Structures are given as C-alpha cells and as structure tokens.
Amino acid sequence: MITRRHSLQLAGIAATGLLLGKAGARAAAPKTLRIGWQKFGVLALAKQQGVLEKRFSDRGISIQWSEFTSGPPLLEALGAGALDFGPTGDVPPLFAQAARGDLLYVGTYHPADASHGLLVQKDGPVKTIADLKGLKLAYKRGSSAHNFAFKALASAGLTPKDVKEIDLAPPDAAAAFRNGSVDAWAIWDPYFAIGQQDPNARLLTTSQGIVQAWGYFLGNGAFTRANPELVSEILEELRKVGEAAQKDIEATAVALAAITGVPLEVTRVTLERPGSDLGRIGLITDEAVSYQQGLADQFHALGVLPKKLTISDIVWRGKAA
C-alpha cells in the first residue's frame, strides 16, 4: 500500500524515465502499463479479473499495479511520471494541477450519491452539523472528503475556520476517531462503510444532496499524449467490467471483498448506496469540466488553492475505443 511518502520515492525512481522521455523514449508502445488503484470500484475489479493483462498480453505489454490509500499520493506519483493511469475523486486533481504535475483528465466515473459520510462520536456533543463549531474535524486534505467537509459545513452556515481541521489519511483518521482524539470524520467509501460499523460511531449526514458525485480517471500527460489508443482501450475495458459488475451486485461484492480485504457485508453496503452504478464510465464531458472548474474556483476563493486554475488546460478529449 502506497502513502504520500512512498509516492515521492516512486517519483524519484521515475526521474530517469522522465529525462529519457524528452528524447522520445515513449515513441514506441510501452512494455509495462503502470496503474494506480484504491480499495474500490472497477479498477479493483479489473485487477482481480486480470482483464487488462488479457487485453494487452498479445502485444507484450504487462500491467504493474500500485495500491494507494487516497487520491493525493496517487496523483503525485502520476504527475511525476511514476504511474501512467489511475482513479481519483474530484479534489485531488486540483492540487495536482496547482503543483504543475504532468497529468490529464481522461475519463469519468460516478460514485454513489451517498459515497461520503460525516461520522461523529455516538455519545459526543454533536447532534447537528452546526454543533461542530470549535471541534476537531478529520479529513484528508486534498481528497474528495475535503470538498464534502467544506460543503457539509456550509450547509449549516459554517466555514472551515469554524472548526479545528485535522489532516489525516484514512487509516490514521480511523484510528484517531476510534480513540476519540477527533470529534468528527469526513470520509469516503469503503472507509466510510467500515467506520459505520464502529459501535461508537453515529452518522451525521451523507454526501447525498450536499455534493455532486464525480470521479475521474487521469493519465500521465506524456504517456497519454504518446499512447492515446492505449488509454482508450483501458477505458473501454473498465466500462465493460463495470457494466457486467452492475448486473450482479452480489457476485461483485464477493469479488471486491476478495481483492480489497474489505469484509463482504461492508462491501455490499457500498454497492447498494443510492446512485451507485459501476457501469457509468465515459470520456470527459463539458459537464465534468464545468463541475471541476466551479470547484477549483471555490477552493481558490477559500484560499485553499494557491492560484486560479483552468481545468480545460489538462483535459484529454479522446475517443472511445
């Protein structure tokens, strides 16, 4: 499992490859596709089923999988050239673009409307979102939970300055929540569903009706520009995996539990949330760009992003395979 610290090591390993890339080393099809994945969704299923290995084996292309706990370190590695392709929520690409990472939006997926949750201590003082004022709220900075936390606070007339923000990756946040060192935790599935199993946790609200459900596939810029047909083929395989998975949720839950290690009953919860549709995978649309631009503008206005972004600058308008 790769954390932010490990992604920096990956970036260092990739430095030589980046220098060679300037000399045209990517002109020929790569021998290895380096894919980052997280404990959810079609990429986890694709890894479990070996569909990408089958798709590219006759061309001598192997698949190298790297697991990440969240989007920020995944995109850090992607932007530095240590990965070729990976999934993320809505916020991580903003920070990656602001950091001048070499990456492109190449596709979309749609998480469940209620794929994020705001958990609080069962016997704690928080009964409404407004009660979070002055208390400790944990979330991973730069993740989709960052956006959810901000918008959940805004729904109760609060700003980020009204709470004590605690920046923690999901495993660390889970531990902090369990031992009571934070009052609330904004998190996404499957960590959200796992957290709900804690007998000392109480669900304050989900993301349904608070944020729009958008997820993205991103490609390293140099890789995508040199190998657009491979990106199209990856997206096509993922769409097929997702459509098949959506037709048999029980079998999908079993398969996902096997590859992620997340208990079956918890995995089943994530797949049955309102709006969940693993087959909704496609190319970047004007609607997706507009959503991201609005989000970038909001985060800049809040002083979270250091500069204004133009999302269309890093959008790949590819073709379906």
Tell me: the pLDDT tens digits for 161-217? 999 999 999 999 999 999 999 999 999 999 999 999 999 999 999 999 999 989 999
The CA distance from 312 to 310, in Å, is 6
Residue 96: is its pLDDT beyond 50?
yes
Hey, is 37 helix, strand or coil?
A: strand
pLDDT band at 39; cut points 50, 70, 90: confident
What's the structural domain count of the chain?
Answer: 2
Confirm whether 221 is domain-assigned.
Answer: yes
Confidence of residue 29 (pLDDT cuts 50, 70, 90): confident
149 and 202 co-located in one domain? yes
Q: Note the pLDDT of residue 320.
A: 56
Domain of 287 in residue numbering reads as: 4-111+214-262+281-314
Q: DSSP assignment, residue 2?
A: B
Half-sphere CA count of 186, side-chain side, radius 13 A: 29
The SS3 of residue 183 is: coil
- The pTM score is 0.85
Around Cβ 159, how many Cβ atoms within 10 Å? 11
Phi and psi at residue 302, to the nearest 5°:
-80, -5
Q: Please check whether residue 76 is in contact with residue 231, taking contact to mean a CB–CB distance below 8 angstroms.
A: no
Report the side by side order of strands in the sheet with 85-88: 62-67, 32-37, 85-88, 215-220, 103-109
Instruction: Write out pLDDT tens, residues 265-310.
Output: 999 999 999 999 999 999 999 999 999 999 999 999 989 999 999 9
Token pair of 94, please? 């903003």
Structure tokens at 31: 């021998």
Computed over its alpha carbons, how large is the radius of gyration of the chain? 19
Q: Is the same domain home to 198 and 73? A: no
- What digits encode the pLDDT tens for the residues 126-171? 999 999 999 999 999 989 999 999 999 999 999 999 999 999 999 9
* Residue 95 phi, psi dihedral angles, 5° rounding: -70, -35
pLDDT, residue 135, reads 97
Question: Mean pLDDT throughout 61-79?
Answer: 94
Instruction: Give the phi and the psi of residue 263 in degrees, each rounded to 5.
Output: -50, 145
In a 10 Å sphere around its CB, with 0-12 CB exposed, 13-18 middle and 19+ buried, how is residue 272 labelled?
exposed
pLDDT at 12 over 90: no
Q: For residue 318, what pLDDT is reported?
A: 83
Instruction: Out of 26-40, 63-77, 252-266, pick the least confident.
Output: 26-40
215 sits in which H/E element: strand 215-220
Query: Does position 82 have pLDDT exceeding 80, yes or no?
Result: yes
Instruction: Give residue 321's pLDDT.
Output: 52
pLDDT band at 104 (very low <50, low <70, confident <90, very high): very high
Same domain flag for 228 and 106: yes
> How far lies 263's CA from each of 39, 46, 127, 252, 259, in Å?
12, 19, 29, 13, 10
Q: Are residues 257 and 298 in the same domain?
A: yes
For residue 273, being part of any structural domain is answered with: no
Q: Give me the sign of the Cα torsion angle 212, 193, 48, 241.
A: negative
Q: Residue 202 belongs to a domain with what CATH number?
A: 3.40.190.10
At 15, the pLDDT band (50, 70, 90 cuts) reads very low
> Which of 90, 205, 212, 208 lies closest to 153 in space, CA to CA?
205
| The domain boundary residue, chosen from 178, 206, 234 | 206
Last residue of a domain, which of 171, 186, 206?
A: 206
Q: Can you tell me the distance from the alpha carbon of 4 to that of 317, in angstroms, rounded to the nearest whole number? A: 29
**What's the confidence (pLDDT) of residue 188?**
94
CA 216 to chain centre: 7
Q: Give the full edge-to-edge strand order of the sheet including 164-167.
A: 164-167, 136-139, 184-188, 116-121, 201-206
Confidence of residue 316 (pLDDT cuts 50, 70, 90): very high
Q: Do 38 and 55 belong to one domain?
A: yes
pLDDT at 85: 98
